Chain A
Amino acid sequence: MSTRYLSIAITGAGGAGVISCGELLLRAWAREGGRGLLRKAYGPQIRGGESAALLKLTADERYTAASRYDAVVALDWDNFTRFEDEIVLDADSWVLCDEAQALPPAVVAAGARVVDVPFDELAAACHPEGRVNMLALGVLGRLLGLPATTLAELAGQKLAGKPRDYRDAATACIELGAARDIACQLPVPPMGNKGAWYLSGNQAAGLGALEAGIRFVAAYPITPASDVLEWMAGGLERVGGQLVQAEDELAAINMTIGAAFGGVPAFTATSGPGLALMTESIGLAVASETPVTILNVMRGGPSTGIPTKSEQSDLNIALHGLHGDAPHLVLAPLDIADCVFTTGWAVQLAQRLQTAAIVLSDQFIGQSTAIVSEPRRCAPFAATPAQDPGEEGAYLRYRLTGSGVSALVTPGDAGHRFTADGLEHNEKGTPSSRQSDHQRQLAKRQDKLTAFDFGGDWAQIDGDGPVALVSFGSSAAAVTEAANQLAESGVATRVISLRLLAPLQTAALAAALEGCSRVFVVEQNHGGQLFHYLRGQLDFGQPVHSYALAGPVPLSPENIAQAVATVIAEATRS
């Protein structure tokens, strides 16, 4: 184990308040200068299903999912079996639960040490409105060395809108839990790193979009993207923007295009099924050269798939889902904090290049909350020097220029009226089915992406070893951790985490891979979508291996490291 961390799972029936318990604990931990991640796992039911707050308290900000759990706090064991793949226990694990309730077979089999905490009984005896999750919060606070006063203060803030009785009950339960002597020792990581931010990837993406200038959002609710929209609804109101809850994703993307045509930077957020519905109109944005940004918070697919859990399986549709030749931008944030930068960058690129940008986040980083150092932001947007639309009446909206980007005016601008069109058109915008117009406009729309200098942010590159580990988006953290573990066993790696997937920076990627004897492409999907994409774009001179594993359980650094080590060992032997 290269990094010491403390992992705690709080489980219970949906609605029992385990997520609130986890959030309050992480907030208090943040106050004390700790670092950590809260992953939320739920089933599809809102009430009565399973729910788990998966905490990982760390000494650094490398936020992968925990591969095993030091402690499980089970408010009840309802539906715990559904988490058996995710909450792995062993003989070193502690289980805090009401011993009167029968232990699930998996917990017994793991040989975990059980500590009796009769949550229901204690909470009921403590206060008529006593809740087990607040009692658990007090117990866990004590184990972590967090002041009960901080926990009670944070709980009070969270319950500010509730009756007085609820807040009193919460305080009483927290204090009772904090006073309880629990025979259990947890490896608490060091704290003292103040000045942090506390946010989810979905909030970070929303912030990045607003800071980059987004002032219009139209969207249709979908898990796990709705919380981006809920945050943006409040945010837009304050910055003077508008959010429309559309009747479906077809309306959402087209309203977004309409607002963008009006010159207001516009954005939508969705998840796989919604992205599928939007693809026709994303092609319209490409053809009409209307800048829009689409955040796709990926979940398990295809079809309805696994709505509440993570996967990276929408890479293919994001890259190739549009009909016709429709070059556009595809980006992926590498972690929760990076959702701010990458989403903001996507907005800026879409505006600058007058095209559609798809941002591939996922449920893991989108709905997890983390304590992070102040996130990197996009540099203030240097708008393209306003291009002269020319004399009144002589304006060519789709003029062929050296850069492929033409002067864009918006309604209200005197004397440069034009009709934007999804039909192929000539430079003026008049519909045309002539081969010459089609070929010129296709080349223009491609050239503006190809010719643009995207700078150094297309990827994050760590290390210069001969074994390359290439991934995209949220897999970066697991891959980086795997690289650390490989380093401990003497395998030097080069981690290339792609942030810009389209247009793929092939020359830069080839240069980054120079001197590598072997390449591993790591991703969280079944088909090896990134692997096949890269093989189609790049002439690899060295063996390329695919490590593709579908969700919903997050990629495990240990398993990645082991798979890489095995391939290398076999190659050395033969």
Chain B
Amino acid sequence: MTDAIRLKAKDYKSEVKPIWCPGCGHFSVHNAITKAMAALGIDKDRTVLVSGIGCSSRLPAYVDSYGFHGVHGRGLAIAQGLKVARPDLTVLALGGDGDGFSIGGNHFIHACRRNVDITYIAMDNEVYGMTKGQASPTTPMDWDHSKLTPHGPGVRPFKPAALALASGAPWIARGYSGNPNQIAKLIAEAVEFPGFSFLHVMSQCITFCPEQTDWKAIVTESEAPPLADADEAAKQFLHEDGFQTGLLYREQRATWPPPGATAAEEGAPGKLAAAFRV
């Protein structure tokens, strides 16, 4: 912000009213995002929230910044194109578990690998909420509440942190919708981290997975410094129960594209054309 007025979290909310069900975990993430924006004193005009499709992907319209609500699964691609073209902007990509790990799974792993300086917040409620309760790639094998998979999906859920690590993500954190202050703190760190930062938020779906209210009792908050050793992190992410929150992994890695790659050469378009002359 150019002026000295310090904005509060509520100043970063737009006047559009969320469509989420009462008790939805995404309200917490919405609050946390605006809280983090306020804490960072972020310039609304230079911030873009990009999303795909799903309940959580509705979020950009609820924040008073620039936004792009794209198609299902492609938010990360839009966000990376935007950031590469406009490195001066702060870009956050948002979405759910189906959007990010199923239809958009390829973009997720390649975003981890590419390491463009954006923040990705995946709001994981282990269910497709917007299409009324089907199993997602993070749904437990035996979750039998969906008519589409009446005996449970029967396949092992993804472990997003492990997937991110294996794909090369340099910054991996986990939050829980029951602890919005922690999410806000993690988002602020993620935005400031130079590189691709992946924040996996367990965000409960009260409507289709009411059993997720039990998460409150099992979630733990890590006070330990983040791991920097990929071997150690791999072991942890593959074997943990997935309820440990906090910044879990951080390494410094060169971002893409390399800085300074966009300096134009004097008279370049004319020279390019001239090269075709016989």
Q: Which A residues form the contact surface with B (CB < 8 A)?
A: 27, 30-31, 194-199, 203, 207, 210-211, 215-216, 218, 235, 237-242, 244, 246-248, 250-252, 254-259, 261-264, 266, 280-281, 283-284, 288, 371, 411-415, 417-423, 429-431
Interface-centre pick from A198, A239, A254 (highest chain B CB count, 10 A): A254
Best-buried of B88, B110, B278 by chain A (most CB within 10 Å)? B278
By a CB distance below 8 angstroms, the chain B residues around A247 are 106-107, 110
Contact with A along B23-65 (1 / 0, CB 8 A): 0000000000000000000001111111000000010110011
Q: Are A211 and B84 in contact (CB under 8 A)?
A: no
Chain A interface SS verdict (over half): mixed
For the complex, what is the distance from the CA of A99 to the CA of B27, rounded to whole Å?
81
Do the beta carbons of A259 and B268 come within 8 Å of each other?
Answer: no
Contacts A31-B278, A242-B257 given: A259-B71 contact, CB under 8 Å?
A: no
Query: Chain A's nearest CB lies how many Å from the CB of B70?
Result: 6
Best-buried of B78, B83, B89, B107 by chain A (most CB within 10 Å) = B78
Contact assessment for A197 and B69 in the assembled complex, using a CB-CB cutoff below 8 Å: no
* In-complex Cβ contact of A258 among B82, B263, B268 (8 A): B82
How far does the alpha carbon of A65 sit from the alpha carbon of B64 in the complex, in Å? 58
Question: A411 with B45: in contact, given A247-B106, A251-B107, A262-B86 (CB under 8 Å)?
Answer: yes
The closest CB in chain A to the CB of B61 belongs to A419
Q: How far is the CA of A283 from the CA of B80 in the complex (A)?
A: 19
Chain A neighbourhood of B48, CB < 8 A: 261-262, 411
Q: Are B276 and A238 in contact (CB under 8 A)?
A: no
**Residues in A neighbouring B16, C-beta threshold 8 A:** 430
Partner of B268, one of A239, A421, A430: A239
B259 at the interface (CB under 8 A from A): no
Q: Contact: B262 with A242, CB < 8 Å? A: yes
> Would A197 and B261 count as touching, CB distance under 8 A?
no
A241 and B262: CB pair below 8 A?
A: yes
CB of B132 within 8 A of chain A? no
Assess the B81–A420 pair: CB atoms within 8 A.
no
User: Chain B residues near A414 (CB, 8 Å)?
Assistant: 45
Q: Is B262 a contact partner of A240 (Cβ separation < 8 A)? A: yes
Contacts of B110 in A (CB 8 A): 246-247, 251
- 17 A-B residue pairs with Cβ-Cβ distance under 8 Å, sorted by A, are A27-B278, A195-B278, A211-B269, A215-B85, A239-B269, A242-B84, A246-B110, A250-B106, A255-B81, A258-B68, A259-B81, A262-B89, A411-B66, A413-B45, A419-B69, A422-B70, A431-B69
In the complex, B67 has a CB within 8 A of chain A = yes
Known: A196-B278, A417-B44. A412 touches B88 (CB 8 A): yes
Distance between B73 CB and nearest chain A CB, rounded to angstroms: 8
Residues of A within 8 Å of B83, CB to CB, are 258
Cα A216 to Cα B78 with chains together (Å): 13
B272 adjacent to A238 (CB under 8 Å): yes
Q: Check A237 against B80 for contact (C-beta < 8 Å).
A: no
Contacts of A263 in B (CB 8 A): 86
Judging by beta carbons under 8 Å apart, are A422 and B278 in contact? no
In the bound complex, CA of A411 to CA of B90 (Å): 10
- Is B61 touching A421 in the complex (CB atoms < 8 A)? yes
B224 interface contact, C-beta 8 A? no
Chain B window 123-163, contacts with chain A (Cβ cutoff 8 Å), 1 for yes, 0 for no: 00000000000000000000000000000000000000000
How many Å lie between the Cα of A215 and that of B263 in the bound state?
12
Q: Is B264 an interface position by the 8 A CB rule?
A: yes
* A239 pairs with B263, CB closer than 8 A: no
Instruction: Contact check, B263 vs A240: say whether CB atoms are below 8 A apart.
Output: yes
B window 220-278: CB within 8 A of A? 257, 261-265, 268-269, 271-273, 276-278
Q: Is the CB of B85 within 8 A of A262?
A: yes
- The reply to whether A422 and B71 contact each other, CB–CB distance below 8 Å, is yes
Given contacts A211-B269, A250-B74, 14 further A-B pairs with CB under 8 A are: A239-B265, A242-B85, A242-B262, A250-B77, A251-B74, A251-B106, A254-B70, A254-B78, A262-B82, A281-B71, A412-B88, A412-B89, A417-B44, A420-B67
Given A281-B74, A284-B70, A422-B69, CB of A258 within 8 Å of CB of B50: yes
B276 touches A255 (CB 8 A): no
Task: Give, as a whole number of angstroms, the nearest-CB distance from B71 to chain A.
Answer: 5
- Contact in complex: B85, A418 (CB < 8 Å): no
Residues of B within 8 A of A246 (CB): 77, 110
Contacting residue for A207 out of B86, B263, B272, CB 8 A: B272
Partner of A255, one of B47, B78, B88, B262: B78
Shortest distance from the beta carbon of B56 to any chain A beta carbon, whole Å: 15
Closest to B82 in A: A258
Give bound CA distance, A415 to B65, whole Å: 9
Nearest-Cβ distance from residue B21 to partner chain A, whole angstroms: 17
Q: Could you tell me if B78 and A257 are in contact, using CB atoms closer than 8 angstroms? A: yes
Give every chain A residue within 8 A of B65 (Cβ-Cβ).
Answer: 417
A residues near B49, Cβ cutoff 8 Å: 419
**B30 shortest CB reach to chain A, Å:** 14
Least CB distance from B37 to A in Å reads 13
Contact residues in B for A257 (Cβ distance below 8 Å) = 70, 78, 81
In the complex, what distance in Å separates the CA atom of A423 from the CA atom of B74? 14
Q: What CA separation (Å) do A411 and B87 show in the bound complex?
A: 12
Residue of A nearest to B273 (CB): A207
A264 to B89, CA, bound (A): 13
Whether A239 and B80, one on each chain, are in contact in the complex, defined by CB atoms closer than 8 angstroms, is no
A248 to B107, CA, bound (A): 9
* Contact yes or no, A411 B80, CB < 8 A: no
Q: How far, in whole Å, are A266 and B86 apart by their CA atoms in the complex?
A: 12
Nearest chain A residue, comparing its CB with the CB of B45: A414
Give CA–CA (A430, B268) in the complex, Å: 42
